[in-house]
Structure 1
C-alpha cells in the first residue's frame, strides 16, 4: 500500500501540459471528480458514460476556452492520467480516442494502492482535494469547483492539515495597495461601500491568477466588487487590449440586475492619476486562459 505522503505527492504532482502560462486543469479536475465519487460512494470507479458528461461539464465551466469537442476534452485526461501511475482503466485503449471508450464503456478508477490509502484516511482525501484546488484555481471559484466535483467545500477549505504544495508567499500589503490605488471602489462598476473605515465587498483581484505565477505587482491588480471579481475569475467578464471591459457572449441573464452586467461591455477603465493600468501581458493571459468564448458584439 502506498504511504500517505506518497499518495499526497503523486496526486498533487501530476504531469500537466503547461507551456507559456497555459492552464491545464483537465487532470486535476478528473482527480477531484474521482475524489468526490469516492467520498460519496466508497469507490472511485467512474464509467466513461458518466465521466463523459460530468468531466466535460467541469472542463467547460472551469477550464480555459477550447475549440475541442466536449467528449474529446474529457477523453484526454481520462486516458492520459494513467501515465501518472495513479489511474487505471478497465480496458486498455489508445490515448485520447473517444470511440473505444464509448464502444466498451470503459471505466476508470484510482490505482488500487492509491484508492486504499484514500478510503482509509478521509483527512488525506481532503488534503489532496484542497491542494489541487488551491494550486489550480483562485479563492473566488475554488468552492464552486469542489461542489461541482461532489465534494464538501467548507470541510475541505477549512481543514487545518498541511498539504504537499509549498505555497508561494503573498505580499502582505498588496491588497491594501490595490484598494488604495483604485480609490477603494470597483474598477468596473464604481461600487465603494464602507462600514466605518473598512471597505465592504471590494476586493483586490489578480488579473493573472496568483496560482498561475501572477505577481503581487501594481500592474497585475484591480479593485473589484465581490460580484465582478467572481465574474472576472469565471471568465464572464474580461478586458481587451485597449483596457476596455468585455462581457462574454456566453454570459446570460434575465433580470434587470443580472442584465446590468451587459452595460459594462465597452466601458473603459478609468484609474486615478498615477495608478498603473494592468500590464498587457497579464491582460493577454486572462483573455487567453480565463475569458470564456467570444465577447459580445459592439
Structure 2
C-alpha cells in the first residue's frame, strides 16, 4: 500500500496508483480532474524539487486546466478544482496539511491549505526524474489522445519531448488495448485521402501528407478502431476536433464551438465550417450516432455557434 509512512513504496506501486486513476472513467465517461492535478504536481516537483501546491494557486491553475482540457461542466472552475484537490487523498498518493471536508470550497479558502504527494511518493519521485516522466506519460496516454498530450504537458510545466520519450510503464502492459495497424490507412482511404472538414488533400511524391485518421470517440477512452469511429482530418482540424473547437452533429453537419474566437482571416476561416455537411465518397461509413454523442458530451466545448 502506498501511504505517507510506507518505507517500502516502490516505483511499481506509484505507477500502479497513478494507473488506478484510469478506473474512474470507465464506460467512456471522462474524468480527467485527478490526473490533471497529479500532472500539475509532477510539473511542480520537476521544476522545484517539491510538489507542494497551495490551494490559492491550485484554485486558479487547476481550474483553468480542467476548463481547457476537461469536458464542459456547469460547475464553476473553483468548485471543479476543489473536487480533485480534496478527493485525491482517497487514492493514497496525496495529503493536505490540514483536515478539510471533501468537495467544500469554503473551508479551503478559510485558512491556507496546501496539498502535496505523500512523503513516500514524493521522495521516490524526487530521487528519480525518469519516474516523473514515466508517470506523466502513463497519465496522458490513459486520458488524452496524442494530438492533445503535448498541450497538456506544456500547460503543467513538463517538457513534452522528455515525457513522450519516456518508457510507458503502466503496470500489466499485456492488459492494454492494441491498436489495429490497418485502421489508419483504411480511414484515410475511405475518405478519399482528404480532410472530411475542409477538403485538404495534399500529397508529396504521390504520398498523402497532412492527413490524419481521427477517432471520434477517443481510443484512450475505449473508442474502437471501427470504420464508423473515424474521420480523415487535416492535422489542424484534427487538433481542433480533439480540443473541442469542432464537432459533428447527428445530422452530420460540422459545428463550431461558441468558445472559439479568432481575429485573422486564417483563424476566422474556421467559422466557415459551421453548418457544412460532411461529404465522402460513396460507400464510406459515416460516424455512428453513439460516437458522435460521446464526442458532443465529453469533448465539444460549450454550445455550437448560432446558425
* TM-score normalised by length of structure 1: 0.98
Matched, 1:289 2:286: no
Mean Cα deviation higher: 259-268 or 151-160: 151-160
Q: Is the 8 A contact 1:16 1:24 kept in 2?
A: no
Q: Is the 8 A contact 2:100 2:108 kept in 1?
A: yes
Q: Is the 8 A contact 1:204 1:223 kept in 2?
A: yes
Residue in 1 that maps onto 2:105: 98
Aligned mate of 1:142, from 126, 149, 168: 149
Q: C-alpha displacement at 1:294, in angstroms?
A: 0.3
Q: C-alpha displacement at 1:289, in angstroms?
A: 0.2
Q: Deviations over 1:221-248 (max 9, x none)?
A: 0000000000000000001110100000
Q: Deviations over 1:93-144 (max 9, x none)?
A: 0000111111112100000100011011111111000000000000001000
Name the Cα RMSD after superposition: 1.1
Q: Deviations over 1:58-92 (max 9, x none)?
A: 10000000010100000000000000010000110
Matched, 1:58 2:65: yes
2-side partners of 1:103 and 1:125: how far apart?
32
Q: Is the 8 A contact 1:249 1:294 kept in 2?
A: yes
Residue in 1 that maps onto 2:241: 232
Q: 1:214 to 1:84 in 2, by over 3 A?
A: same
1-side partners of 2:21 and 2:227: how far apart?
32
SS in 2 for 1:185: coil
Give unmatched runs, 5+ long, in structure 1. Answer: none
Q: Is the 8 A contact 1:12 1:165 kept in 2?
A: no
1-side partners of 2:166 and 2:270: how far apart?
35
Aligned mate of 1:219, from 228, 231, 234: 228
Q: Deviations over 1:186-242 (max 9, x none)?
A: 000000000012111100000000000100000000000000000000000001110
Matched, 1:155 2:155: no
2-side partners of 1:201 and 1:15: how far apart?
31
Matched, 1:89 2:71: no
1-side partners of 2:270 and 2:22: how far apart?
38
Aligned mate of 1:255, from 241, 261, 264: 264
SS in 2 for 1:51: helix
Q: Deviations over 1:253-273 (max 9, x none)?
A: 000000000000000001110
* TM-score normalised by length of structure 2: 0.95
Aligned mate of 1:26, from 25, 33, 47: 33
SS in 2 for 1:238: strand
Q: Is the 8 A contact 2:138 2:168 kept in 1?
A: no
Corresponding pairs, count: 298
Residue in 2 that maps onto 1:111: 118
Q: Is the 8 A contact 2:78 2:105 kept in 1?
A: yes
Q: Is the 8 A contact 2:54 2:114 kept in 1?
A: yes
Q: Is the 8 A contact 1:15 1:84 kept in 2?
A: no
